[in-house]
Amino acid sequence: MRRIIFIIAAFVTLSSISWIRAQDPDYRIDIEARSVSVSVNVVDSSGRPITKLTREDFTVFEDGVRQEIRSFDPVETPYNILMLVDCSQSTEADWSLMGTAIGNFSSKLRDQDRVSVSQFGSKVETLMEWQPRSNEFLKVKIKSESRICAGTDFYGAMETALSRFKGIKGRNGIVVLTDGVQSQLPFPQTTVVVAGHGIQRVADSTKDKEFQKTLTAIKATDVVFYFVAVNTDLNPDPTQRYFGPTGIPNGVTQVYNPNLIYNMQQARARMQLVAEATGGRVVFPKKPADVVPLYEEIASEFGTNYGLWYTPSKSPANNETVDRKIEVKVRVPGAVVKQSRDSYNPSGAR
């Protein structure tokens, strides 16, 4: 008797799912957790966004093999965007412009979008709770005098930020301004010998257990991470005391500390790994004044992108390390597709 009831219940459940999908073709159910997401922007030959496309207009290929699009978010789908700002002293040069950047960012969002602002150092501190996008300029100020700004728990901040989206519907994104440096390094360091001297270097991300734990937690969500990366090896802040004098009077010429460059590369690599895993990206302002337009550029991307999800037709092999290529095509003559990422590692698909 129990077996008969179970069969009937299963049939009713499957029938209900089929009925829901028939009523709403964009209904999403996670049949398999190891899905791959990619966000795309589509522009015409003049560079203007095309925002009225449907699932049928897109085709996704993985390593040249066509994939079934399991879920699709149109441009109109609301976004919840958390702006997360590193308030440690290493980002101090950008504080004065952050209020303008936050205000301009909000003004570029759509009416259906919501935004929240937090800062982080040793902990995460909320500066503005979730609120709808407003035509009024948001006035949010970084509280650099806060005690939490004395240290930087970058990994903890990202995990805490994820918890802000629990129970929230729509697409979710986080925009982080940071140098990506974790002040209390919980991972092993390696020692190399340079000119007879032992130098400690930060271990790469694969040996950083705390980072891998954070990356795994991030991959288990559909939250997209964008980074406005400051003071990295690609855009170092010359006002920071990270350079050694060459002996020339007045310090006119300065040189990098090679060991520091390596450690800055490791911090940048971690940001890029998170962005690539979630379908976001990293931007590198060359000077503080670049922060504001880059925030506007990211806001524009959120407002004009489509979300695509597919489950790879080819299952990942054991210990597969080679990245798989993603290509998105659209059925619009002359249109240009801009993908949030063009590859992914099958060991951590999402």
* 32, HSE (Cβ side, Cα atoms, 13 Å): 14
Give buried/exposed letters for 233-248 (b at 16+ CB in 10 A, else e): bebbbeeeebeeeeee
Whether 222 and 280 share a structural domain: yes
Whether 22 and 168 share a structural domain: no
Judge whether 323 lies within some domain.
Answer: no
Judge whether 69 lies within some domain.
Answer: no
Question: Which pLDDT score, from 0 to 100, does residue 27 have?
Answer: 39
Q: Give long-range contacts, CB 8 A cutoff, 24+ apart: 311-314.
A: 311/31, 311/32, 311/34, 311/35, 311/36, 311/67, 311/68, 311/70, 312/34, 312/36, 312/62, 312/67, 312/346, 312/349, 313/62, 313/65, 313/67, 313/68, 314/62, 314/63, 314/65
What three-state secondary structure class fits 281? coil
Contact 245, 293 (CB under 8 A): no
Judge whether 36 lies within some domain.
Answer: no
Judge whether 314 lies within some domain.
Answer: no
Distance CA 156, CA 219 (A): 15
Distance CA 350, CA 333 (A): 30
Judge whether 199 lies within some domain.
Answer: yes
Question: Which pLDDT score, from 0 to 100, does residue 113 have?
Answer: 93
The DSSP letter of residue 279 is T
Whether 25 and 89 share a structural domain: no
CATH of the domain at 291: 3.40.50.410
Whether 103 and 240 share a structural domain: yes
Distance CA 295, CA 226 (A): 10
Judge whether 331 lies within some domain.
Answer: no
Per residue in 207-259, pLDDT (tens digit) is 888 999 999 899 888 899 999 999 999 998 876 644 444 444 444 444 556 77
Per residue in 332-347, pLDDT (tens digit) is 999 999 887 788 777 6
Cβ atoms within 10 Å, residue 199? 14
* Token pair listed for 239: 């006002």
Three-class HEC string of 196-237:
CEEEEEECCHHHCHHHHHHHHHHHCCCCEEEEEECCCCCCCC
Q: How many domains does the chain have?
A: 2
Give which of 234, 309, 218 is closest to 267, Cα–Cα: 234
What parts of the chain have a pLDDT lower than 50? 1-33, 186, 241-254
Question: Which pLDDT score, from 0 to 100, does residue 123 have?
Answer: 95
Contact 63, 324 (CB under 8 A): yes
Count of residues for the chain?
350
pTM for the model? 0.76
Cβ-proximal residues to 242 (8 Å cutoff; 6+ apart), any chain: 236, 256, 257, 260
Question: Which pLDDT score, from 0 to 100, does residue 15 have?
Answer: 38
Domain that holds residue 180: 79-302
Judge whether 62 lies within some domain.
Answer: no
Cβ atoms within 10 Å, residue 334? 8
Per residue in 66-75, pLDDT (tens digit) is 999 999 999 9
Whether 15 and 107 share a structural domain: no
Question: Which pLDDT score, from 0 to 100, does residue 90 have?
Answer: 83
Whether 18 and 124 share a structural domain: no
Question: Which pLDDT score, from 0 to 100, does residue 106 have?
Answer: 87
What three-state secondary structure class fits 345? coil
Whether 285 and 136 share a structural domain: yes
Whether 19 and 109 share a structural domain: no
Whether 23 and 101 share a structural domain: no
Judge whether 168 lies within some domain.
Answer: yes
Give which of 180, 156, 183, 207 is closest to 267, Cα–Cα: 180
The DSSP letter of residue 68 is -
